[in-house]
Amino acid sequence: MQKDYNPYLGTPGFAMSDSGVKIWYEDIGDPSDPAVLLIMGHSFTALSWPNYFVQPLVDEGYRVIRYDNRGLGLSTRMIKWTKSEAYSTRDMANDGIAILDHLNIDAAHIVGVSMGGMIAQDVAMDHPSRVRTLTLAMTTGELFGKGLSRPSAYFITNVLRIMAQNKGQLNAETAPRINVAFANILSRKKLTAEVEELAKITKFEYSDRGGWNFACAPQHTEAMKKRGGRWDQLQDIKQPCLIVHGTIDPIFGTDHAEKLHKYIPGSELVLLNDLGHFLPHDRCTELIQPLTRHMQKSQDQ
């Protein structure tokens, strides 16, 4: 462990999904406050929800729960995985519900980013009574959906460049600089304030959490592909829904957010100018303000 460094803000624990998958979570804030379940995206752990985003929500009076999706972090990993063992985002939605069950939470505000937003949609559709509000950030309703924009050439070219520079090696030495470089690509600009913390968190992943497990990358991709499109089913979402998207997202263009907005009845769409597929510290308030307003509105009704 890095001396005097601890990124945790709350109480860690494990929940067991009905499929026998063990899910690590961190429970932050007052248990009597309304719960917010944060669902992270493809290949990234709970700690990718930055503390500078989590702590303000706690300060606003919310109990925040972040967790490692199956396949990585301290949750159950499947190293020798084949497509015959593929799970879908609906299975991953059940993992989130298992945490709520374990903590005796009847319903929570569900917030998903990227692939986590796709999981969040499945939570809302498959377990509607467990969802107070739904927030979908930087996400889509279908991976590689027909007629929708694909990841940009900028994104693909730069990811390949980074991996080539590091000779495809992912370890405790290369991972911090890969994570920082990847964050720069996702945000489409050179980060400064976040660099030191990103490097520390990455080192912590290796010293205390078993390191990054990119064996889960094909698993998560297959989970999205196996689920397929759910556009026609989105009209069944009745919970208040907020859709937040950056105008320069290099993975999902704004057309993905606009289509979600079209298909989810009564949803609110917030487009953030000059924001990519990453939440920089200096843009955090721009997401927290509509999010807390959205959640508070449902509690006032």
Supply φ then ψ for residue 108, to 5 degrees.
Answer: -140, 160
pLDDT at 97: 98
pLDDT at 79: 84
Report the predicted TM-score, pTM, of the whole model to 2 decimal places: 0.96
Neighbours of 133 (CB within 10 A): 23
pLDDT at 233: 96
- Given a contact cutoff of 8 angstroms between Cβ atoms, the answer to whether 81 and 218 are in contact is yes
pLDDT at 194: 94
- For the chain (301 residues), the mean pLDDT of every run of 10, in chain order, is 85 95 98 98 96 98 98 93 93 98 98 98 98 98 95 93 80 90 94 94 95 90 96 96 98 98 98 96 95 90 67
pLDDT at 195: 94
pLDDT at 240: 97
Whole-number Å distance between alpha carbons of 63 and 90: 24
Would strands 22-28 and 11-16 be described as parallel, antiparallel, or unpaired?
antiparallel
pLDDT at 212: 87
Whole-number Å distance between alpha carbons of 44 and 251: 15
pLDDT at 9: 98
**CATH number of the structural domain 11-150+218-300:** 3.40.50.1820
